[in-house]
Structure 1
Amino acid sequence: MIETFSHNPDIMLLDLRLPDIDRVEVIKKVRSWSNLPIIVISARSEDSDKIEALDAGADDYLTKPFSIEELLARLRVTQRRLSYMASNGQTESSIFENGKLKIDYASGCAYLDGQELHLTPIEYKLLCLLSHNLGKVLTHTYITQNIWGRSWDNYIASLRVFMATLRKKLEPTPDSPEYIQTQRNWL
């Protein structure tokens, strides 16, 4: 059993018809290292099978046969729950303001002192990530994981380049930054 994913899935659809692995053991293994939502798909419709999978850590259980519409509805429910949890139960404003910086998440635009910033997609993702974590120190690993979906060391050089260009666009006086600060050796 692979202990981690090579990609960053948002959800796991797990068919319990596995030939040589205990289905509940798969759920428990995934739960031991991830909070990834798991929807079990099975032809078994007995209550005991459903209860066993749900008690092991599955988030939902879908009995075959099912319609695509039902599967999509369950995926939407899971996505709504993830969004709610990510916002700590608070509905997020579509506008972020900090001093002269304004980000309109709904339109995908950022403004500094009323002027639209011309950002690359990566710069915009970085700015949004930083705005959602205002006042927190973010590690290289955390940032690369959230921007590129993995935390490889080869992304650190790219991250530094993107941060430098973003700083140039945001900070009128680079010697006294207002919006992006680097913390070195803070551990």
Structure 2
Amino acid sequence: MKCLEFRHYLDAAGLTESEWRSRWEAARWFLAADGESGKRYGNETIRITSDGEVSIRLPAPLVHLANAPYGRYTLACRVAFAHRGTEWADRIAADRAVAYRIHLDPDRGRWYITASWQTLPAPTVPMSAALAHGVIAVDTDADHLAAWRLDSHGNPIGNPRRFPTT
């Protein structure tokens, strides 16, 4: 169920109206910025340094609130990315695009920041090139693996070899 639908089924969702309202409002408290390759640390709007310092570039009407040079507001906390942190660090070191989203989790009463980026597609080999000299095909079953050699047209050659997995 989505947050809006919870409003009509508070009992089923196990929420009071005030709990639902806090979730509803929290869903709208976020800041997101797409990354930009070539910009410092991969994002001009939300910038996170390699040591976890977060700063936000403020829009012109809010520049008077800046606590850092160039109209930026630096947060008092530091962040770290446990999942894929090494990939993130490599991207920002090379000034490659990183998108960020800062959002509130009302259940925990905490703010979170997520980082995302696009990865290059894995290189693939055209099927005709893969089959040119034949390949091995593997069929996985519940109790065994079956392997066949395939000819250049993808047809099985001979009988399969079976390998028990139990």
Question: Does the alignment reach a TM-score above 0.5?
Answer: no
Question: More strand per residue: 1 or 2?
Answer: 2
Instruction: Give the TM-score category using the shorter length.
Output: under 0.3
Q: Which has the higher contact order (CA 8 A, sep 6+)?
A: 2
> Larger % of helix: which?
1
